[in-house]
Amino acid sequence: MTADKLRIIVVLRADLPEMTRGKGEVQFGHAVASCLVQAMAHDPALVERYMAENQIKLAMEVDSLDALMRIREKAEKRGVNHALITDAAHTCFSEPTITCIGLGPMTKTDGNALTRDARMRP
């Protein structure tokens, strides 16, 4: 993975015991799709470049909603496209719940700056 390749990073919450591995994967998918749709509306060339490259995607996690919201604040300050994902509570949650944030497409430099306090998802 080189620094100039674009990537999408999804940061999931690890503090939600109701979120099974499969549910997390579905939330990951929502985040990636939302990032691409939003970016296409604002910068189609960025999405075209991302799609022409390796379409790098990384899964990371944090231990709280507060940590996730700090990442969102950083993304807003850096001007990085992002999508906060809220599950509608049709299956495993008893109420709508913020599960993750998608970030990008973006450079490795932006990704590292935004996710410094997160860890790779096992």
Strands in 54-96 per DSSP E: 56-62, 82-87
Domains of the chain (ranges, CATH numbers): 7-120 (3.40.1490.10)
Per-residue confidence in pLDDT tens, the chain, 122 aa: 455 899 999 999 999 999 999 999 999 999 999 999 999 999 999 999 999 999 999 999 999 999 999 999 999 999 999 999 999 999 999 999 999 999 999 999 999 999 999 999 99
Structure tokens at 11: 């940061």
Q: Is the pTM of this model over 0.75?
A: yes
State the DSSP code for 65.
H
Q: Is the peptide bond before 105 cis (omega within 30 degrees of 0)?
A: yes
